[in-house]
Each structure stands twice: as C-alpha cells, then as structure tokens.
Amino acid sequence: MKGFYESAFKEKLDTITEFWLVNLLWVIVCLPMITIPPATFALYHVLYKWVKGEGGGLWKEFFHGFKEYFFRSYLIFFGWGLIAVSTYYYYSIVTGEGNSGFATFGMAITILLLIISFMVYVYIIPFHVMLQASTKRIVALSMMFAVRHIGLTLLLFTLLLVTALFVFLLPYLGILAFIPTIIYFQIWLIYRRVLADKERFI
C-alpha cells in the first residue's frame, strides 16, 4: 500500500496547490494595474511549461516570463486596445448619422470586427510563449489559425467569454485557481493542434 507521499491523491493535491499558487502570484503582481500585461504573459509562460511537462520552479519561471515578454506584452495589449477604441470610434460616428438603417449596418460591422479581433486574440498570447517568432509573424499565424481551425477558435472564444462573464459576476473567483485552469486548458488545446500542424510552424 502506497504511503501518502507516494499516492495519486498527494499528486492531485500538489497540482491543485500549484495552480492556486500561480494564481495568487499573478493576482499579486497585477495589483499595481500597470503590470497586468507582463504578469498575464508570465502566467501563460508558466502554464505552457506545465503543459509541456517542464518547469524550473514557479517563482523562477514566472519572473523569467515577466522579464522576457515585458515589452511585447505592452505592445500586444495596447495594440488590441487601439483596435477596440478605433472600432468604438467608428461605431459612434456611424450611429451619429441619424439614419437607422446605416446605424444598424454600422453596429453589425462593429460587432463583427470585435468578434474577429477576439477570435484572433485568443491565439496571440499562447503563440508568443510557444513560438520563437516576431510579433508580426505571430499575428499572421494567429489569423491563419483562427480561420483554419474555426471549430477550435469558436470553442476558445466561448471559453474567453464565459471566463470574462464569471469574473465579472463573481469577482471572488480571482482568489481561486479558476482563471489559470481555463488558460491551461486553452494552451493544451492549442498546443495539441500546433503539434498536429507542426510543419506550418517551422
């Protein structure tokens, strides 16, 4: 009979503890607000290492990712923010025209642009931590991947919406390992598909 320190239950307990600790570290580093982009990239970096069965210690890997993706993280977050603001600005101009038909068309275009942006966005951070490539190359791969694997894209997009909804309605989930668990599943799904399409990522 296995002892506690050799049991499957102990392994599961260790896994739960690791997810809780990386979540806690991410929340603490995000507290200044300005550090949210690199902290989020660092979280993805750690979880990607776990998906691959690698890792050199939680603290070491997290701050290695924080440092490595520091400038890229702001570029991606601000770039996406610029798209969101531009889309909203376009919508406000169109709806201010007074033509209800034109306003409806403008709203449809705005929603479509936002959906496309989000569908591409679900791949951008995972690809940054998975691939050694320029931001331009990663954005292009994300767009290709979003179209080529539309079923996976819709699943990931739904997960993103559900996660955002849960965090908005139940903010106390921030102290649990809910977000890292969802991100881990997201990375695992993408990583499996990347391995299947390996020749496209060389």
- Judged by average pLDDT, the poorest of 98-102, 108-112, 114-118, 151-155 is 98-102
At residue 89, the pLDDT reads 74
What total number of domains does the chain contain?
1
At residue 37, the pLDDT reads 92
Show the domain range for 11.
Answer: 4-201
At residue 1, the pLDDT reads 41
- Judged by average pLDDT, the poorest of 29-43, 106-120, 129-143, 183-197 is 106-120
At residue 4, the pLDDT reads 42
Question: What is the rounded average pLDDT of the residues 146-157?
Answer: 88
pLDDT class of 101 with cuts at 50, 70, 90:
low
Locate 150 and state its tokens. Answer: 């539309």
**What is the rounded CA–CA span in Å between residue 106 and residue 157?**
23
Locate 75 and state its tokens. Answer: 């570029």
CA separation, residue 118 to residues 3, 24, 82, 143, 161 (Å): 47, 26, 13, 11, 10
Tell me if the pTM is above 0.75. Answer: yes
Of the candidates 202, 185, 198, 194, which has an alpha carbon nearest to the alpha carbon of residue 44?
A: 185
